[in-house]
């Protein structure tokens, strides 16, 4: 069982609000990822990190930002939420020590009104 957590699981928020989606893993994985996924659709990689103080943009342009100050924590922030940000956000992690198996969190369902 993977130990990767996301909070909140569901969030409804008004336009213009600043939000932070939390992601934590207790497996000591160096690589972490954020994906955006609309219901029943494909995954889009929006951010990833190779380790502490490393962040990279993914394939899909996103107005969100991320930080990686601690190995276990990889939060995603939206400075000003818009209805177009409504989606599911999935966090994942992997490492060489776990044969590069990628583990996913349960996701955060974000609705911006």
Residues engaged in binding another protein (CB under 8 A): 6, 31, 33, 39-43, 45, 48, 50, 58, 88, 90, 92, 94-96, 99-107, 109
Nearer to another protein, 75 or 106 (CB): 106
Nearer to another protein, 15 or 24 (CB): 24
Question: Max CA-CA distance within the chain?
Answer: 42
Nearer to another protein, 8 or 16 (CB): 8
**Structure tokens, 103:** 């583990």
DSSP 4-44: EEEE-SEEEE-TT--EEEEEEESS--SEEEEEEE-TTS--E
Q: Closest distance between another protein and the C-beta of residue 9, in Å?
A: 9
**Structure tokens, 35:** 């994906």
């Amino acid at each position: 069982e993977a130990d990767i957590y996301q909070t909140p699981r569901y969030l409804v928020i008004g336009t213009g609000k600043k939000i932070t989606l939390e992601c934590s893993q207790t497996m000591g994985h160096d690589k972490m990822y954020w994906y955006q996924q609309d219901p029943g659709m494909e995954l889009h990689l929006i951010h990833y990190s190779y380790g502490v103080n490393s962040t990279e943009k993914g394939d899909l342009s996103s107005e969100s930002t991320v930080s990686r100050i601690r190995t276990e924590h990889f939060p995603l922030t939206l400075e000003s939420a818009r209805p177009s940000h409504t989606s599911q956000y999935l966090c994942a992690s992997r490492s060489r020590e776990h044969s590069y198996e990628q583990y996913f969190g349960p996701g955060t369902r974000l609705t911006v009104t």
